[in-house]
Amino acid sequence: MNYFLDPFGCVKNQVDAENMMTVLNNSGWKNVLDAELADLIIVNSCGFIESAKQESINAVLEWRKHYPGKKILLAGCLSQRYEKELPEILPEADGFMGVENTAEIVQKAENIFGKKHVQKILIPVKYANAENTIDKKTLSLSTGERPLLSLPGSAYVKISEGCNNNCSYCAIPLIRGGLVSRFIPDILEECRALLNRGIKELCIIGQDIGAYGADIAHKDKEREVNLPELLNAISAIEGHFWVRLLYIHPDHFPLQILDLMEKDKRFLPYFDIPFQHASPKILSVMNRHGSADKYIELLQTIRKRLPHAVIRSTFLLGFPGETEEDFAVLLDFQQKANLDWLGCFVYSREEGTAAYSMKGRIPGKIAEERKQKIEERQIPITEKNMEHFTGLTLDVLIEEQIAADANAAETNENIWLGRLYCHAPDIDGAAVIVSGQTNLHLGTFTKCKVIARRGFDLEVRV
């Protein structure tokens, strides 16, 4: 039977989708790229904030409208978060599956069609706790042989599930539970498999990779499992590839990783550190324990040790109780932090979180205005920081060839898109390559010189 996958949400959700595809494919199902050809449409949903939830629900409604006779399975975070409510309020879906065990996808799918499921698990699910036994919180499948939904040459390696930070606005612990880390040998096995199939960039992900291993260390005092230990193990793998670290909570940033980055240039000096705010009052009610001064000190340390470091962050605007004075503190922090990339989000009131019942809710219009002001102030900061790359010769990971225009044959020019180390997949700018060469290969490195900045993008030459 055929299935069509409609993915939503973050890259952690993407890895879940890839693992579901692995199980389905190994069970005889066939993935099709046209829903018209599918027996089953799988919506892999996001349940993090209100807009994302509505997007996933709308997808189910739209698929049902277009294909009244097809079966629809709503999988992912939304199904996990509202497993009791959804079957009653969303009859347009024929089945539901959460995130606790992606290996169950075949059984869930076949149940929809009334088939008897014979083989319970096709790929062993590896659980990571100190005793290496199955506990209530299971870990998603992880295999380096899975189909990849990422851009050419890049793959995401999820090293943990869940989170113990319990930020007052965040629904992740409600959906995915507390922190559960994978063991290092399991992660290394996946990394090697991905590299052996030609992957050039390993993006290490988790809700907070800085906390990796803390759950194991808590249960087994003699076992050293943490992010520096993991990265040192990856460093022993031979080959020319990138390792990109994404999502490190600033309150427990492991400074030891800077030692490795100084020695092994394959570990990119790119840091995704979600500061969220700078006001002491707002950080406190967010249940975050840092401060603007500590965060600036962290940035100074990183840049002193790694002068070419690139730092991305996120700010959350309109949190309950955020005054104009609090916003002014954040604006001041933005200027001092001099971040290379910045994403801004408006607070979403999520039931079940500690912030849900907080007083002092900010009108949406004011929150949006503050978000827009931050974004406008960030434009010249990012543009100036991207100027620093002009004149440098660096590796570019080739991702896409742009269709040539009518004049291309006369000028013998081809346009390609790629990324430098300063560009994380899908969220930052790009490297635009104008080249007479036609032998550039997607998913490979090419040495290029940065010759100009074009907005947030960089123009480069082979």
Tell me the domains of the chain and their CATH numbers. 2-112 (3.40.50.12160), 154-387 (3.80.30.20), 393-461 (2.40.50.140)
Q: Please name the residue ranges forming H helices in 272-363.
A: 280-285, 292-305, 324-337
* Interval 385-408 mean pLDDT: 85
pLDDT tops 90 at residue 102 = no
Q: Are 53 and 84 in contact (CB under 8 A)?
A: no
Provide the angle, in degrees to the nearest 10, between the axes of the packed helices 324-337 and 292-305: 10
How high does pLDDT run on average in the chain?
90
Pairing of strands 431-435, 414-419: antiparallel
Exposure string for 218-257, b = 16+ CB within 10 A, e = fewer:
eeeeeeebbbbebbbebeeeeeebbbbbbbbbbbebbeeb
Task: Say which residues have a Cβ less than 8 Å from residue 362's Cβ, sequence separation at least 6.
Answer: 318, 319, 320, 322, 347
**Separation of alpha carbons 304 and 308, rounded Å:** 9
Cα angle: 241, vertex 267, 314; to 5 degrees: 115
Q: Are 157 and 187 in contact (CB under 8 A)?
A: yes
Question: Between these two residues, 252 and 115, which has the higher pLDDT value?
Answer: 252
Nearest in space to 244 (alpha carbons), one of 170, 186, 157: 157
Per-residue pLDDT reduced to its tens digit, 107-136:
999 999 987 544 444 444 343 443 443 343
pLDDT of the residue at 285: 97
**Separation of alpha carbons 17 and 11, rounded Å:** 9
* Interval 395-407 mean pLDDT: 80
Per-residue pLDDT reduced to its tens digit, 140-161:
556 788 999 999 999 999 999 9
pLDDT tops 80 at residue 23 = yes
For the chain, first and last CA: distance in Å?
Answer: 45
**Other CB atoms within 10 Å distance of the CB of residue 307:** 9
**Separation of alpha carbons 456 and 232, rounded Å:** 33
Fill in the DSSP letter of residue 320: T
Per-residue pLDDT reduced to its tens digit, 53-100:
999 999 999 999 999 999 999 999 999 999 899 999 999 999 999 988
Q: Are 122 and 27 in contact (CB under 8 A)?
A: yes
Q: Is the pTM of this model over 0.75?
A: yes
Q: Are 440 and 446 in contact (CB under 8 A)?
A: yes
Nearest in space to 162 (alpha carbons), one of 149, 174, 151: 174
**Complete DSSP assignment for 230-290:** HHHHHHTS-SS-EEEE----GGG--TTHHHHHHH-TTEEEEEE---B---HHHHHHTT---
Chain centroid to CA 398: 20
